[in-house]
Each structure stands twice: as C-alpha cells, then as structure tokens.
Structure 1
Amino acid sequence: MSNMIEVKDLVLVYSNGTKAVDTVSFNVKKGEFFGFLGPNGAGKSTTIKVLTTLLKKTSGSAQIAGYDLDKDSNEIRKLIGVQTQETAIDGDLTGRENLMLQGHFQQLSGSQLKDRVDELFKLVDLEKFSDKNVRNYSGGMKKRLDLATALVHKPQLLFLYEPTTGLDPQSRSAIWNYLEKLNKEDKTTIFLTTQYMEEADKLCNALAIIDTGKIVAAGTPRELKEQVGLDSIKLDLKDCDKDKASAIKVLKELGGVSNISETGGCLTAFAKNASLIIADIVRSFDSLGIVLSGVSFSPPSLDDVYLQKTGKRIRTEALVKTPNLMRFGRRRR
C-alpha cells in the first residue's frame, strides 16, 4: 500500500442543501507530510470530519490505510490521531495525568503506558513540567501537551487543524521541530491545515488547495510556485481610499501586469521582471499624484499561489473558531 489516504469524487451535501465538499479527489502517500489549504468555509474542516469518520459523506469513496470509510470506521479510528484548534486537555490534572488518562482510553496500561508517556514528554520537551498542574502551563506548553495526547497510541496518521495558530514564533518553531521528527523518524503520515504559508512551505511534501468545496490546485510547494511563474509586486498606498481606483487603473493599463488585488491599503500585482516594471509604475503614479509609502517585490511564494487560486490572502481572513472535533482516544472527563 503506497497511499495512506485515497479520496475519489468525495461529495458532502448538508441537510440545508449546501454542498460543502464538491467532487474532491486526492491521495496522500504513506509517510507524507500533506498540507490542505483553503479559505474559511472552503470545505477543509468538513473534509477532515469525513475522513475522521465524524460525518457521513453523501457520495464518492475514501480509504484510510486501505480501510473503507463506510465499512471500516472502527478500524480507522484505531490508527488515526486528531488535534484541533482548541486543546482537549484537562486543566485540573497534571500533564502526566492527562497523558495517562488518554492512554487508558486507548486500552494501554502498566509499563507500556508509563514508557510511552515518558517518551512523549521527551518528544515535546515537557519532562520538567510533567507533574505540574496544566492550568499553570503557558499557551505553547498546552499546545505541546495537546499534541502529545494525540500521539499516545502511536497513530499511523495524524490530522492537525491549525496546530500553531495563536502561538509566538518560538513556540511555533518548537512545534515544527516535533512534527518534522514525527514524520521523518517515526514515519507518521501527517495531514495538516494551516493559515501560515511559510509553515506549509517548510513542512509539507505535497499540498492541495480547496476553495468553495473544490480542489483548485495540487502538487509539491515547488511545483505550485513554479505555476505562478511571476514576481509578486506589493505597493503600499499612503491614501488608499483616495488613490486606489486610480492606481488600479494605471496597473491595468500597463502591459504585463496581472491579478491585481487590494488588501488593507496594499495593492498586489504579478509581473515578469518586476524590477524593471516597478520604475514604470512609480513614474505613472507620480504623474497622477499617487503617493506610495512602500514598494517591494519578491519571487513567487505559496501565499502568491494561494492568492492566485482563491483570490484571497489567507492571513488577512477573519479567524473563525471551528467547532471542536472529537478526538479518538482523547476525551474530557
């Protein structure tokens, strides 16, 4: 078996008629670090709920580690771990008590469970805090413990929903290191959704972008960036309300400029040889009295891929909390 996940023509229609997932197909190879990206409401969390057996699909097919999603849901639950945006740890317990509790839910006991708990505390660098009450943990420490609870039963496949949202850069970097170790050393297949494009670029071997329930792009980070093939130009307008319309008109009239968008007073456009065309842009703006407070350009990034495929920048979307997914083997008291 080369694929851990196989999804073909997956459809989910809610009772109100909303088609949340629309004929989605993709594969995730065994041992792969797979990124699943998309705007809020695109179908990410619905797809995850289907793959983790929390929602019944309307049509199509899906297999997890060779098990059929409809026929073998109990077997699938045994081999997956799920970590969502909100932690599922008990603040009234110590870190060790939380992991021991989750282990008991997975029918682990004795030295097997104790050794696994010690191993996990070492993995997430919480050995010194294992017997401290969780309510005294920092946000980053709680995220790391939460990750450990999803790993108690050594899942073959780990689903992560925005695991580093709200963390400081140092805590995010620590989580990245743990995930890379899980993937490379333990060969755990990881299915990640994230709002940080640099996170997806750094960690993922393969990506899929979903928008309005459909897969709009798929490939390795490098392949997707090569599809853009254009430099990204960012123009900060000093008075966006006054000058935006005129600035966009100028950009549209210049040859070789495409995909113009505006976010928070900053215009973004794409062009070949951006370093050459920027001079023309500045001259044209100056002749019309359009004042720039900043100009920059860069080679294609995953953020540019996302913008081109969805028409949005992922980091500027309003962050909407997602209903907490139940975690198999991870229950509150």
Structure 2
Amino acid sequence: MEPIIKIEHLDKWFKVKDMDVHALDDISLDIYKGEIYGIIGMSGAGKSTLVRCLNFLEKPTSGDVIIDGRNLAKLSNKELRATRKDIGMIFQHFNLLMQRNVLDNVCFPMELVGVKKKEAREKALEYLKIVGLEEKAKAYPAQLSGGQKQRVAIARVLASDPKILLCDEATSALDPQTTKSILQLLKEINQKYGITIVIITHEMTVVQEICSHVAIIDHGKLAEHGLVSDIFTAPKSKEAKKLIYQGYEHVSEMKGNRCVRIVFSENSSFEPVIGNMVLSCKAPVNILYANTTDLNGVAKGEMILQLPEDIVIGDQMIEYLKKAKLAVEVLEDYVG
C-alpha cells in the first residue's frame, strides 16, 4: 500500500537577518491512510515548519512532498489549490471569524466553493452535531469556551470533506480535561470517516493518548520514528528518551545510583513480578517512580527501580526481569 503522505529528503532553509537557518534537515517519512500520526518536538525543533510544508504553505528548499500520489512540487498553482482541498488544518488559536455565528463559520468553506446556501446550512448543522455543538449554531465565538471554539474549527474543516487533517498544536491552549475531550473527538472522526490525522505537538501525553505512530524532530532532524508503543517501551535516541522520561526529574535519589526503567507487558501486569524478584534474589529494591500510561487505549505500567549496589545481585535482578518478559533499560547514563 502506498503512503497517503510521503516525505522524501525534505530540507528547508530560512534567511533570518544575516543568518541562514536550517529549519528542516533531510526529513523522510511515510504516513499511511487512516493513521493518526504524531510529530513531536520541543519549541523551535522544526515541527510546525514541517506541517506547513505538507500543504506547501511553506515551500521546501529541496526534497519532495507526495500527497496521495501527487508530488506537490510538480503541480501548477491551480492543481495545488485543488490538492489542498483534500488537506484540512486546525490551529492552536482556532482562527474563527468573530463577526460570524457558529453556523456561518462552518458554512464559510462551502461558500468559497459555491455550495448553495440551503445545502451548506444543512451540512453545517450535521457537522455541528458530529462535534456536539448543534445547540450553539446561533452563538458567536466570543460566547464559547476554548474547547467549544476548537470543536467549531473541527466542524468547519469537516465541511471541506478532507482526506487529511493537520493539527498544529491544536490542544495547546486548552486545559487537560478539554484536551482529552478534543483528542477523543479526533479519534472518533478518524475511526468513522477514515481521515488521516497528523498531530503536531510538544506534549508526549497527547501522542500517547491518540497516536499510533510518532516522529520525533530535534533541531530540524528526524531523531526517531515508529510505533508509539515501541518508542515508549524502548526509546533509542537521546531526544526520545528526554521526552519519555521528562516526568522523572523530581526523583533526585536516582542521580549516581544504578537505576532501571521497566515497562510491564499485558501479561506481566497481573503478576507480582517485583515481589517475586526480591524473594528470589534475596535483596530489596527501592521503587523511585511508578506510573500507568494510556497508550492509545492500552494501559502500560512503568517503574523506576534503584537496584542494590552489589553488581552481581543487580545483574541477577535485571536478568530476572528480562526473563519475566519486561522491557528493561539501565538509566544511569542519562537520568538524574
């Protein structure tokens, strides 16, 4: 199956005053139809530049962006405009028309392509029903909460019947509970309509909540990419580890000690693995951190253990945990 979005050796340079800034450096990614794909990185990593290159709002300096088999660099302006109709976009600050009510905001993209007013209003009401805001049709954006504004923005995008939805920090301005509800809505839209969703974010929790795949961008380069579950369980790059382990800084005791991070499989979650290991190895461990993370609807347990100073016993414990089919990673080189 061909990817619906294919990025090949993408580079983007900007001229800032007297400096040349390399915003994207040889990025290559495949995103397949129906996926919810996360692109994550810290501020200034290049992720927003990347998403703007996906619809040629920013033209790459070199490389190719191929959408549903069409190379955007080789399209005429007319062909590019037609292709962009398949690519919807929602933003952090909603971009609603403040002088129009909710219904008219959703109608707006249909007006631009000549849909008759009656048909547009009927469709707009359907889309508002999908996002749970049918009763707010006559309200104005100033009368809505942040979450409601984002739902209107999503309904407006759906009015264009996109194949692809790009979300650029779409939940960054929202509180955690509202963020969760918007992510759930996006997941339902993905499942119901098969729309491919690309989520740009700096928050690992957003990726873990909704995405099946993720690409980690750092200083314009692709640090790591793959299944969210694989990267969460065993991150390979320094950048991935920084994002996965960002909740551990408060564990000051970890510094200078031999610590391991373990991730529980579905089977091991029901067994007293740590207790059995302590009994088997006849030595205690210190549990520094424990958490359960929701990875796209699947609960994953993780722990940070401080092992005994005795190297032999510590090695025995690591071997025990691996035989119990837990993912085990020694953290002493980069945590604390």
* Residue 199, structure 1, aligned to residue 206, structure 2: yes
* CA distance in 2 between partners of 1:235 and 1:203 (Å): 25
Distance 2:250 2:38 in 1: 31
Q: For 2:6 and 2:206, how far apart are their aligned partners in 1?
A: 24
Aligned to 1:71: 74
Contact 2:8–2:64 under 8 Å retained in 1: yes
Q: Once the 2 structures are TM-superposed, how far is the Cα of residue 138 of structure 1 from its aligned partner?
A: 1.4
Q: 1:299 to 1:223 in 2, by over 3 A?
A: same
1:133 to 140, 152, 156: 140
The answer for the alignment partner of 2:3 in structure 1 is: 3
Determine what percentage of the aligned residue pairs are the same residue. 26
Confirm whether residue 210 of structure 1 aligns to residue 222 of structure 2.
no
Partner secondary structure for residue 223 of structure 2: strand
Q: 1:115 to 1:299 in 2, by over 3 A?
A: closer
CA-to-aligned-CA distance 1:153-174 (integer Å, 9 cap, x gap): 1100000012222323442232
How far 1:257 moved relative to its partner? Answer: 6.0
Deviations 1:106-130 (A, max 9, x none): 3322443223201111011111110
Question: 2:107 matched to 1:100?
Answer: yes
Q: Is the 8 A contact 1:106 1:153 kept in 2?
A: no
Give the letter aligned to residue 296 of structure 1. Y
For 1:100 and 1:300, the matched residues in 2 are separated by 39
Paired residues of 1:208 and 1:219 also in contact (CA < 8 A): yes
Preserved CA contact (<8 Å) 1:235 1:296: no
Deviations 1:66-96, CA, capped at 9 Å, x for gaps? 1112122223212110111112112222101
What pairs with 1:200-239 in structure 2 (closer than 5 Å)?
A: 200-228=207-235, 234=248, 236=250
Partner of 1:296: 289
Query: What is the CA–CA distance in structure 2 between the aligned matches of 1:61 and 1:235, rounded to whole Å?
Result: 40
Tell me, in whole angstroms, the C-alpha distance in 1 between the residues paired with 2:284 and 2:14. Answer: 51
Match of 1:82 in 2: 89
- Stretch of structure 1 that moved more, 190-199 or 134-143: 190-199
What is residue 45 of structure 1 aligned with on the other side? 48
Which residue of structure 1 lines up, in the alignment, with residue 157 of structure 2? 150
Letter of the structure 1 residue corresponding to residue 205 of structure 2: E
Q: Secondary structure at the match of 1:296?
A: strand
Q: Which amino acid aligns with 1:2?
A: E
Cα distance, 1:202 vs. partner?
2.3
2:182 aligned counterpart, secondary structure: helix
Q: Which residue of 2 aligns with 1:185?
A: 192
Aligned residue for 2:84, secondary structure, equals: helix
Match of 1:13 in 2: 13
- Name the amino acid aligned to 2:168: Y
TM-score (norm 2): 0.71
Alignment pair present for 1:22 and 2:25: yes
Q: CA deviation at 1:34?
A: 0.6
1:207 alignment partner, SS class: strand
Summarize the Cα distance change of 1:178–1:300 in structure 2 as closer, same or farther, 3 Å threshold.
closer
What 5-or-longer segments of structure 1 have no aligned partner? 238-243, 259-272, 283-294, 313-333
Give the Cα–Cα distance (whole angstroms) in 1 for the partners of residues 141 and 92 of structure 2. 17
- Alpha-carbon distance change, 226 to 112 in structure 1, aligned in 2, over 3 angstroms: same
Cα deviation, residue 221, structure 1: 1.2
| Residues 236, 80 of structure 1: alpha-carbon distance in 2 compared, 3 angstrom cutoff | closer
CA shift, 1:281, in A, is 7.0
Partner of 1:124: 131
Distance 1:300 1:156 in 2: 30
* Distance (Å, rounded) in 1 between the aligned partners of 2:152 and 2:98: 11
Higher deviation after alignment, 178-187 or 189-198: 189-198
Provide the secondary structure at the position in 2 that maps to 1:9: strand
C-alpha deviation, 1:104, in angstroms: 0.7
- Aligned residue number for residue 37 of structure 2: 34
Q: Which amino acid aligns with 1:17?
A: D
**Count of matched residue pairs:** 271
> Aligned with 1:297: secondary structure?
strand
Q: 1 or 2 for the larger relative contact order (CA 8 Å, sep ≥6)?
A: 1
For 1:204 and 1:132, locate their aligned partners in 2 and report how far apart those are by CA, in whole Å.
Answer: 32
The root-mean-square deviation of aligned C-alpha atoms, in Å, is 3.4
**TM-score of the two chains, using structure 1 as the length reference:** 0.72
- In structure 2, the gaps of 5 or more residues are 262-273, 296-301, 303-330
